[in-house]
Amino acid sequence: MKIYVTSVFVDDQEKALRFYTEKLGFEKKTDIPLGGPARWLTVVSPENPEGTELLLEPSGHPAVQPYKTALVEDGIPATSFAVDDVEGEFKRLRELGVEFTQEPLEMGGVTTAVLDDTCGNLIQIVRLP
């Protein structure tokens, strides 16, 4: 068994697609209209285009907004992405205008930073030992 797709709830799929591709560097993998404004919209890492897809899922369900708000208020990332160099990615993304709620922080061999994805989520980038 392997993970095929995971999701992050987004306030605006088009805005999320721009952020996740233009800022974070992912590539659009799937874009299927589902009726109305909703789409099955996924992105993947260009380093592993056949790997796990991230679904940019519309946050229309009534339970989603309280959930997202609680996570953000408590500073909890919705998901985490592995990078080789947290400090380098932090600098690159800052230059692109990405806002961080946590600058790079080393904790027991793991370095993390937390960014705002502009779509209602905090996202952690991490370098593992």
Q: What percent of the chain has pLDDT over 90?
A: 94
For residue 14, the enclosing domain spans 5-127
**Domain with 41 in it: what CATH number?**
3.10.180.10
| Full 3-state SS string of 9-45 | EECCHHHHHHHHHHHCCCEEEEEEECCCCCEEEEEEC
- 21-76 pLDDT tens trace: 999 999 999 999 998 889 999 999 999 999 999 999 999 999 999 999 999 999 99
Residue 80 predicted with pLDDT over 90: yes
What are the pLDDT digits (tens) for 106-128? 999 999 999 999 999 999 999 98
In this prediction, residue 51 carries a pLDDT of: 95
Number of domains present in the structure of the chain: 1
Q: What local confidence, expressed as pLDDT, does residue 25 receive?
A: 97
pLDDT of the residue at 37: 87
Give the contacts of 111 (CB within 8 A, at least 6 positions apart).
Answer: 86, 87, 104, 105, 126, 127
Q: Which of the four pLDDT bands, split at 50, 70 and 90, describes residue 19? A: very high
